Copies of this chain bind each other. A is one copy, B any other.
């Protein structure tokens, strides 16, 4: 091989260099954990990232060492993203809502050497630090605070730490195949598992994921990730924003609708990203605040299926284009984005809206296929359901610390989702394979049942689960959370299903609950619902149902 073209590594440090060089003055706005709003720029952020990398090096942190974060979306968290990865260490984002036991498990599995934590987590970590022998340094992400210092021996303070570092620090040369960051799956079954992203996988995800049919972020956007920075790197937004020099708005800990509505209006946010629960909250927040969010053109929604009624409401009332994405921790996360093809452009709005319900098409860099339970590849006809498998430049191969590849014998990752794919490549998630309801040997999609219930005006949220059944093995039961002070009966909900699904798919029961149990990333925890209501259709337990 001749060195015909320059060969520069695809590393996160090069993103930092780019945004510092060409977009130093572009704003980074951050709602701090104290509630205060700070206003800085990409130049200052990368300067601090360099200081941090240099200070960590001075403190003996080595390349490849894991630096954990337990933190909300703030400016300091962003600096840690670039400083840690740019400096050749691994940025390991932890979910602050995890139970203590899981937190300890994950820190130990990752062998984190440093922990960066927000103010509020100092007591928790003080109580657990004895169980985390690999952690040599805990850094509170703020200025010195004597009250906090008293709680945890040796606690360091971020602002002091970076003051020791050098803003002109040059990133070390590292190979693009080196790890850059680490994120654990939510581990609904068994222990959580780590996905160790590399610089290369992150950069290719950044470039391909930001194509005009992907996130499509430009230097004219003001982008707000309402998806947490511990949830698959906020879907890659920090890296993408750096690559294009977009204004970044970090909403801090409060993701309620009113806070977000005000922030969107104040910072002229043009693109926001988050899970459906966030958008549901935003609808209410917009109602309550009357905030002018005419600046908001697009919102990207993923994590769970997007209810059709929400797409319509955002479009018709607020002129916001809700774009559906699908992905997972193992896929960095962008697997599909729902954007139209040229042949759809001339379709009437309703037909376009119909198209937009699917989870979307894969960008270059992602391959999808469907297989049956015997592993046979199934057709992409839009009808045949199968297990969704994926391959690509930013898809997991081997979980962190595991010896065995996570892939099928022929190199595909099995997502655990049940999907259809149509001839144009539009993928629709029908269910998680562990959630789908198997009634008398036939499959019933819980997503479809939930969307019908959610479309009822009195319903705030709904979850369909498989309840054990003496005759059919499993039958659908829908658990509904009503809007505050609104009424709706089981019969009224059941009536909604008539004509919308085949009769045999209509749920056997509708039950009401005050609050659906939500997991750390805002998804309904169906396992918990199955514990509570999985037996309601069995004769001997039918009495146990809630009133």
Contacts and interface: CB of A to CB of B under 8 A. Distances in A.
A5 interface: yes
Given A4-B198, A6-B392, A15-B364, A247 B208 contact: no
A21 B421 CA distance: 12
Interface in A391-417: 391-400, 405, 407, 411, 413
B342 A219 contact: yes
Contact of A4 (B197, B362, B365, B407): B197
A2 interface: yes
A26 B211 contact: no
Interface in A198-256: 198, 200-201, 204, 206-208, 210-213, 216-222, 243-247
A340 interface: yes
A393 B413 CA distance: 30
A393 B247 contact: no
A332 B6 CA distance: 11
Interface in A1-43: 1-8, 10, 14-15, 17-18, 21-23, 25-26
Contacts of A22: 361-362, 424-425
A314 to B, nearest CB: 21
Given A212-B217, A244-B364, A395 B6 contact: yes
Given A26-B342, A342-B220, A179 B4 contact: yes
Interface centre among A3, A6, A342, A399 (most CB of B within 10 A): A6
B6 A397 contact: yes
A367 interface: yes
A342 B397 contact: no
A503 to B, nearest CB: 33
A345 interface: yes
Contacts of A8: 391-393
Contacts of A339: 218-220
Contact of A405 (B3, B14, B243): B3
Given A22-B425, A244-B212, A425-B21, A5 B342 contact: no
B6 A396 contact: yes
